[in-house]
Amino acid sequence: MAGVVRGLAADRQRASRDAQESLAYLAEQTGGFAVVNTNDLAGGLSRISNDVQDYYVIGYEPDRDTFARKGKPPRLHRIAVNVRRAGVRVRSRREFIGVSDPERPSGPLTPPQQLVRAAMSPFSSATIAVRATNLPGYSRRRGMFVRTVLHLDAQALVFSTDATGTRTASADLIGLVFDSEGAQVHTIGTGFDVRLEDAAAEQAIQGGLVYTARVPIEKPGGYQLRYAIRDRRSGAIGSVGGFVNVPDVTGGAFALSGLVLRGGERTAASEPMDSDGFSVRPADALRVYQRGTQLSYSYEIYNAGTAVQAVTSLWRGTDKLTSLPPETLRPPADGGPFGAAGGLTLADDLPAGAYVLRVAATSVDPKHAKTVREAAQQLSFDIK
């Protein structure tokens, strides 16, 4: 019997390895990479998303003789692309079959079609710079959700000025939400007008604009959120995407909400993240800070049941730079969600670049005293 079990386990391991190797080979041959051997679905998807945030697209049109003539079998062609500039990487497929693509209908796209195409594209459009922060959360009244905070580059919008000095701009926005199976589960479509009084207009345009959306989530798991915005006057488009993992709070899982960062003095626990009064400054939506800034962070804790031990750490890449002393957080008597907050100062000697603030928490399962439950959330930001 033991031999049969070992044989079945080996077969499963071999099948899993074969499936991963074939997919990794496909990704490598077409200019991509594979994320394997990890349980961090959101982290792996974020790595893929970050890889295509800043890019140039280079087109290549082969000679007509490259493609198979009618009645002739197509040939396999190899291709190699090299780049000389230091610090720049190039991704391209390594080979292609000489078969012509079918002709696509010509004609300009309508504004809604432009928005959908930009949102569906795996590449971000930077005509209007957009940065997204996706924060999973939960409330007893509304259930699980993701709150998206979009920072928009207001300087890329076209404003008109009336006789009183008031500046106005208008834009359309679309948001598409896909589950881990690739099925579209939610759509956001809206338009908005921006009115800036003369006294505060310049500061608002320089600092950027913030748009927030609450996306209801029915089931836990990994989700991809894609957003696109279009200036109605100029037709300029910006798009951004991100991945988020929504824990099963409704099902009783011990979990943390997304982290909210603010540059400034340490604050007390924030209001519940489902509060209609939720707001964030443009600078905090952009998540770019200077050395010496005192960061405050806040989050919510769900389904704790017992005291929570929380540890906050600062990372750059795979290096842990600092770790704050553990904090003991006690849940309310009714066992409902409760807030937590903290702060740290960005050292003056930190180099410019990307960083991650991470909060890891543990709590003893109230139903099983020997079981320690774990939950964590993290949020990236930049130091300039």
Residue 144 lies in a domain: yes
Tell me: the pLDDT tens digits for 327-356?
999 999 888 999 999 999 999 999 999 999
Residue 264 has pLDDT above 90, yes or no: no
Domain of residue 188, CATH code: 2.60.40.2360
**pTM listed for this prediction:** 0.74
Rounded CA-CA distance 41/32 in Å is 17
Instruction: List pLDDT tens digits, range 291-306.
Output: 999 999 999 999 999 9
Domain match, 142 and 67 both: no
Of the pLDDT bands very low, low, confident and very high (cuts 50, 70, 90), residue 270 is very low
List C-alpha distances in Å: 88 to 6, 47, 51, 271, 318. 47, 17, 12, 43, 21
Is 327 in the same domain as 261?
yes
Q: Is 244 in the same domain as 260? A: no
Structural domain boundaries enclosing 127: 111-248
> 235 CB contacts (<8 Å, ≥6 apart)?
111, 114
Residue 265 pLDDT greater than 80, yes or no:
no
CATH code of residue 328 = 2.70.50.60
Q: What is the pLDDT of residues 276-293, one digit of tens each?
A: 567 788 889 999 999 999
Same domain, 70 and 135: no
Contact 77, 93 (CB under 8 A): no
Same domain (yes/no): 93, 122: no
User: Within this chain, do residues 130 and 93 fall inside the same structural domain, yes or no?
Assistant: no
Cβ neighbours around 326 below 10 Å, total? 13
Region 184-211 average pLDDT? 89
Residues 135 and 192 in one domain: yes
Is residue 105 situated within a structural domain? no
Query: Is position 118 within any domain?
Result: yes
Least confident piece of the model among 87-91, 116-120, 258-262, 333-337: 87-91
Strand partners, 224: 178, 243
* Domain shared by 6 and 88, yes or no: yes
Q: Which of 248, 265, 294 is the last residue of a domain?
A: 248
For residues 262 and 243, membership in a common domain is answered with: no
Check: CB of residue 278 under 8 Å from CB of residue 168: no
Q: Assess contact for 134 and 148: CB atoms under 8 A.
A: yes
The verdict on 48 and 87 lying in the same domain is yes
The answer on pLDDT for 73 being more than 70 is: yes
Of 97, 128, 161, which marks where a domain is finished?
A: 97
Query: Domain boundary at 248, 267, 293, which?
Result: 248
Note whether residue 229 is domain-resident: yes
Is-contact 32 91, C-beta < 8 A? yes
Question: pLDDT at residue 369 above 80?
Answer: yes
**Predicted pLDDT of residue 269:** 41
Q: Residues 59, 142: one domain?
A: no
CA 43 – CA 135 distance, rounded (Å): 14
Q: Is the pLDDT of residue 273 over 60?
A: no
Q: Count of domains in the chain? A: 3
* 90 & 67 share domain: yes
| Assigned domain for 102 exists | no
First vs last Cα of the chain: how many Å apart? 62
Give the pLDDT score at 272.
33
Residue that wins the pLDDT comparison between 149 and 27? 149
Q: Is residue 174 assigned to a domain? A: yes
Rounded to an integer, the average pLDDT of 202-226 is 92
Task: Please report the DSSP string for 122-138 in residue order.
Answer: SSPPBSS-EEEEEEEEE
| Residue 103 falls inside a structural domain | no
User: Is residue 106 one of the residues assigned to a domain?
Assistant: no
